[in-house]
Structures are given as structure tokens and as C-alpha cells.
């Protein structure tokens, strides 16, 4: 297992056949929050015009292009090349994590194998990605959230996007992550965020139209919030919800 570093060293492996070039810049902007993309590779058959949309991104983002000609219809040599490179990188043990950019469920076992060796695995793909692949990653980020959010080019203001769910839909997930907190029901927001991702790797406040977890907790309407002088934020279920939960546990007992 690689030694711990302040900034994680990441390999970004892109399945060009399964990812639109329009998401490229937003993906790399998000990766900066996760670590440093020291390895940048993209796989596909670039001999025709089908993947020509990637040309600009490959140049501007300094991505190493791996040409994999499709010699047989229905066979994806690009996927095999990506997996081989991922395994080679894993055995070199110079990385902290791997970013798999694809919505293809075929990479589920690859994600599992990389994690078995102690590497962090971040998936970037569309909402159509199957649950097994999403859950095989430490964290899975929807590319739609990146392009729906971001910065409005006209106003220069941050735009969180519309989201696909109402904030109230997140109450159950957040409440589950709070369970086991102190006797008064309070939990540090940062700890809650970590627990949520352990439970639901594709959880993202932007899916609920919120820029971060703190905003989502406020917008959901299901929690009390306490902000300390040091800036630390704690949350707990509202009193009525806590009483209801306690009563339910007693009745089951």
C-alpha cells in the first residue's frame, strides 16, 4: 500500500467510448478536490470521427491517448486495455487512488479489485450507471451534477443546478448516518458526511439542488443545527422525529 501523502496521487483512466467529451473539463475540476491527477489516460478507437469531440480536451488537459482499434464488431478492446493498465498501475504501488471515468458496469470487478489492494476508487459516470458499479467505488460522482452545477458563464455566479430530488428526500439517509451519536443526539457534520459516503457512495448534495451537505441539512427541514465558535457544525434530528424514533424502538422491543 502506498505511503500516505497530504495530497493523494491519482490515476485518471477514461473510457472514451462511454463518456462524453463535454464533461471533460468539469470532471478534472472536480478531481482537483480529490487529489492530484498524476496519470491521465484515455482509451478508445480514435481512428474515425466518432470520438473526434475528445481532441480538444485531450490536448488542453494533457491526457495521454491510447488508440485501441476495434478489429471485431461488438468487441471492446478499449475496456481490456484500460483494465490492464489499471492493474499495472496497482502493482507499481505508487498511487493512492484511481479515478474510473465510465458508466460501464463491466468495470465493477476492477473497482472491487483496486479497493482490495487498499486504493481509493472514485467513479465518474452518468446516472444510468448500474448500482453495483456505483457501490463498488469509494465514491461515485454523477457527471450530470458537474455540468448542471458549476459557474454560470454569463453572471459568473455559482449555480447548483436543479437536482433530481427534493432536499426532504435526503432526511432518511442523513438520519441513518447520525445514529450512534452522543446521548443528546448531536453529531459532527463532517463525521456525518463520511458515514453517508460509506453507506451511499453516490450521495451528492448537488443531486438535491444544494451546493454542500450543510445547505442540504438546512433545506431538508428535518434537523437542528448548532454552529460552534470554532466553526464546527453539529446536527441532530428534530425533537419530534427523535421521540418518534425512540417510541418505535420501544414498541419493537
Here the CATH number for the domain that contains residue 39 is 3.40.50.1010
pLDDT digits (tens, 9 = 90+) for 146-163: 986 544 444 344 444 567
Torsion over CA: 128, 11, 31, 132 (sign): positive
For residue 245, the enclosing domain spans 167-252
Dist. CA 155–CA 192, nearest whole Å: 33
Q: Structurally, how many domains does the chain consist of?
A: 2
Q: Are residues 84 and 46 in the same domain?
A: yes
Dist. CA 208–CA 192, nearest whole Å: 17
Q: Are residues 128 and 183 in the same domain?
A: no
pLDDT digits (tens, 9 = 90+) for 69-116: 776 554 578 999 999 999 999 999 999 999 999 999 999 999 999 999
Q: Which of 76-85, 119-128, 237-246 has the lowest mean pLDDT?
A: 237-246
In a domain, 159, yes or no: no
Here the CATH number for the domain that contains residue 197 is 3.30.420.610
In a domain, 88, yes or no: yes
- What is the pLDDT at residue 157? 43
> 216: helix, coil or strand?
helix
Q: What is the mean pLDDT of the chain?
A: 88
Q: Are residues 179 and 140 in the same domain?
A: no
Q: Are residues 136 and 77 in the same domain?
A: yes
Q: Are residues 133 and 196 in the same domain?
A: no
Residues with Cβ within 8 Å of residue 160, at least 6 apart in sequence? 149, 206, 209, 210, 211
pLDDT digits (tens, 9 = 90+) for 24-70: 999 999 999 999 999 999 999 998 898 999 999 999 999 999 998 77
Q: Are residues 239 and 192 in the same domain?
A: yes
Q: Are residues 129 and 191 in the same domain?
A: no
Q: Are residues 213 and 124 in the same domain?
A: no
* ∠ Cα 184 202 166 (to 5°): 70
Exposure b/e, 82-116, CB count within 10 A at least 16 = b: bbebbeebbeeeebbbbbbbbbbbebbebbebbbe
- Give the alpha-carbon dihedral of 145, 150, 153, 155, to 10 degrees: 110
Amino acid at each position: 500500500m502506498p505511503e500516505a501523502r497530504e495530497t493523494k496521487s491519482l490515476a485518471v483512466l477514461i473510457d472514451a467510448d462511454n463518456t462524453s467529451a463535454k464533461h471533460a473539463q468539469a470532471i478534472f475540476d472536480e478531481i482537483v478536490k480529490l487529489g492530484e491527477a498524476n496519470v491521465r489516460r484515455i482509451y478508445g478507437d480514435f481512428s474515425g470521427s466518432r470520438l473526434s469531440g475528445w481532441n480538444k480536451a485531450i490536448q488542453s488537459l494533457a491526457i495521454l491517448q491510447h488508440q485501441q482499434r476495434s478489429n471485431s464488431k461488438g468487441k471492446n478492446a478499449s475496456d481490456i486495455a484500460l483494465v490492464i493498465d489499471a492493474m499495472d498501475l496497482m502493482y507499481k504501488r505508487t498511487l493512492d487512488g484511481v479515478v474510473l471515468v465510465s458508466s460501464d458496469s463491466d468495470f465493477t470487478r476492477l473497482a472491487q479489485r483496486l479497493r482490495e489492494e487498499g486504493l481509493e476508487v472514485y467513479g465518474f459516470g452518468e446516472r444510468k450507471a448500474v448500482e453495483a458499479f456505483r457501490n463498488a467505488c469509494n465514491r461515485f460522482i454523477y457527471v450530470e451534477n458537474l455540468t448542471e452545477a458549476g459557474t454560470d458563464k454569463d453572471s459568473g455566479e455559482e449555480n447548483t443546478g436543479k437536482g433530481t430530488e427534493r432536499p426532504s428526500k435526503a432526511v432518511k439517509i442523513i438520519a441513518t448516518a447520525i445514529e450512534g451519536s452522543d446521548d443528546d443526539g448531536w453529531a459532527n457534520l463532517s463525521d456525518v458526511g463520511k458515514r453517508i459516503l460509506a453507506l451511499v457512495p453516490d450521495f451528492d448534495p448537488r443531486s438535491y439542488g444544494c451546493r454542500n451537505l450543510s445547505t442540504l441539512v438546512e433545506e431538508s427541514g428535518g434537523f437542528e443545527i448548532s454552529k460552534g465558535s470554532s466553526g464546527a457544525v453539529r446536527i441532530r434530528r428534530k425533537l419530534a422525529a427523535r421521540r418518534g424514533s425512540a417510541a418505535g424502538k420501544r414498541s419493537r422491543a
